[in-house]
Amino acid sequence: MTLSYAHHAPGYQAPVKASRLRAWDDSSPYHKNRPLRAPRGSDVLNLLRKPINFRNIPRPVGITVHTFVKDATEDSANLHVASMVIQAITGQRCTAHAARSNVQNWGLRAGKFVSVSADLQGEEMYHFLGKLIDVVMPRIRDWRGIKGTSGDDNGNISFGFRPDVVALFPEVEVNYDSYPPKMIPGCRKYR
């Protein structure tokens, strides 16, 4: 989805980086054959990561399609419609999630089901990703793309769609009349 590329002029040579680990100073016979020490100022040594370029693009591991249904606390039919839409889009059974605590500003009560999600892996994941990139995203009007800051340090990318964009999936578009009006789920807060 996002590509990190740093251009370097021909003949550029990257500066040599010093080792992150420190050697022992041989002041004691117990220092001999010991593993190298962690750098100063940090008790936890962060993992090394290779820079991402076009030769080593990360492989997707899984996709989670999730929607929060705001009106599900008042009428459970909204949650059922959202579940049908997510199931049609992903081809997998959905899992309903209940609110863990009361949030008065959002009208949430603990124990009430308010969201549905589907986890995709393997062939279903690649099928959904191909459909999203090849069919849905090119049809979005005035869409600026996914922000480069939408990811985190662990390689996860998250973004949302409005309900009218969710209706662009072929499975929803074919049966659009079978869904009650204004009940198609989506990320209501978009940019």
Work out whether the CA dihedral 144, 173, 135, 64 comes out positive or negative: positive
191: pLDDT strictly greater than 50: no
The residue that leads in pLDDT, 65 or 57, is 65
Domains and CATH numbers, the chain: 63-141+158-178 (3.30.1440.10)
Contact (Cβ atoms closer than 8 angstroms) between residue 44 and residue 164: no
Q: Percent of the chain, pLDDT > 90?
A: 14
* Residue 190 pLDDT class (50, 70, 90 cuts): very low
Strand partners of residue 22: 37
Q: Is 80 exceeded by the pLDDT of residue 53?
A: no
The model's pLDDT over 75-133, given as tens digits with 9 standing for 90+, comes to 788 888 888 889 989 999 999 998 888 888 877 788 888 889 999 999 999 999 999 98
Structure tokens belonging to residue 137: 């995203």
Task: State the pLDDT at residue 42.
Answer: 62
When pLDDT is averaged across residues 133-155 and rounded to a whole number, the result is 83
